[in-house]
Amino acid sequence: MAGFYVRYGKRFLDLAIVIPALLVLAPVLVVTAIVVRIHLGTPVLYWQERPGLGGRLFRICKFRTMIDARAADGTLLPDERRLPWVGRFLRSCSLDELPELWNVLLGQMSLVGPRPLLTHYLSLYSPEQSRRHDVLPGVTGWAQVNGRNAVAWEKRFELDVWYVDNMSLWLDIRILWMTIAAVLSRRGISASGHVTMPEFASPARAVPQARRVVVIGAGGHAKVVVSTLKACGIEIEAVFDDGPRAWGSDVLGVPVRGSIDMIDELDGLVSGVIAIGDNAVRERLARRLNIDWLTVIHPQAIVHQSAQLGPGTVVFAGAVVQPDVVVGRHVIINTAASIDHDGRVGDFASIAPGAHLAGTVTLGRRSALGTGSSVIPKIVIGDDASVGAGTVVVRDVPPGRTLIGQTPRYLRAFESEGNDRKAA
């Protein structure tokens, strides 16, 4: 149900609400535009580039709320001196956000989702925080109904990522109702000491730090991961594995130092990759360990610049990731696998060697595609599903199901018809 809603239902809900809303609110939009023109001047509408789905830029539209008051040297005055009572009123009632319904109509935004922030924040996000761009930005969102601008940045991003992981029809309906209550109460309009929200800064990312790279897991899959890291010129400090038999050995010359818990004892910034094929185990370890997860692409892989890869994901040699593909966290894209345009791959999924996803395919969280399997366009494979080696997937796979075997081919009738013609 969640997969269907994300793929089709959410857009239907947006249009079902936005189209009538634009008609009903047309008089409000006109009156607001006149008020802005009289009290704040022109232009009435404020356009600005913001990052949307996958970090791609679009132009957001709002009503103007500030005046162009400048100091004697020509520089703009601080925000609090350029925000008159009309602008404060528009913001308190969220009337300045109404033109964003146009962005929703165009498919650049959704009614519900993480708010689109300034473009220069993109380089400041941690890998986890950047996941807020895994979905369309929203006019309102989970963070907005839990404090709006009064919530600290770190908490706000946590709420955004929580929404990404739990998005559903009922959650969106709940957020829309809570938004109405938040607007009527006018709470959380600004942060303490600011007219709206202070600038986001990320001190931890301001100064580059030496990192210690580790690999988690010493099995066969670790050999391919270590080989890929070395091909990228990344020096690996050690491998860690909970199997005592592996301790003291090495993986392609990298020592297996001990149990995974020993990683917590390392000093400084630790980066790493989980080299374990079991999807559920990768998820447990990713949630347990406090590590800066690397996204690794083999030099012989082809990944289009518009594709989005989550932290912890590894793309092996010969793999191909086509334009506008969005791949989640800790995904394995194995040797010679391919994902065609506009594909969506959920967190902790795995794509075996030689497996191929055609365009606009969705692969759910923790799902696995077997070696040499193929998926035709527009198929949705649910969370925790498995597709056996060599299987051709021609219909949606429900969550938790396992699909094996090749699809039957209807050739016999044509062959018989051809033999009948020859006999005649």
Residues identified as active-site: 341
Q: How far apart are CA 220 and CA 241, in angstroms?
A: 12
Task: Identify the CA nearest to 50 among candidates 142, 4, 113, 127.
Answer: 113
Pairing of strands 250-251, 254-258: antiparallel
Q: How is residue 324 written in tokens?
A: 């506008």
Place of tokens 């967190």: 347
Q: 414 — phi, psi (to 5°)?
A: -70, -40
Q: Where are the beta strands (DSSP E) in 204-299?
A: 211-216, 238-240, 250-251, 254-258, 269-274, 292-293, 296-297
Q: Report yes or no: 66 and 44 within 8 Å, Cβ to Cβ.
A: no
Q: How far apart are CA 197 and CA 152, in angstroms?
A: 9
Q: How is residue 134 written in tokens?
A: 């895994």
Question: Which amino acid appears at position 96 of this protein?
Answer: D
Q: How far apart are CA 202 and CA 186, in angstroms?
A: 29
Q: How far apart are CA 347 and CA 367, in angstroms?
A: 9
CA 227 to chain CA mean position, Å: 28
Q: How is residue 350 written in tokens?
A: 């795995």
Q: How far apart are CA 337 and CA 375, in angstroms?
A: 12
Task: Identify the CA nearest to 136 among candidates 117, 116, 155, 162.
Answer: 116
Q: Where are the beta strands (DSSP E) in 42-180?
A: 45-51, 57-63, 110-112, 138-140
Task: Identify the CA nearest to 115 among candidates 144, 154, 75, 83.
Answer: 144
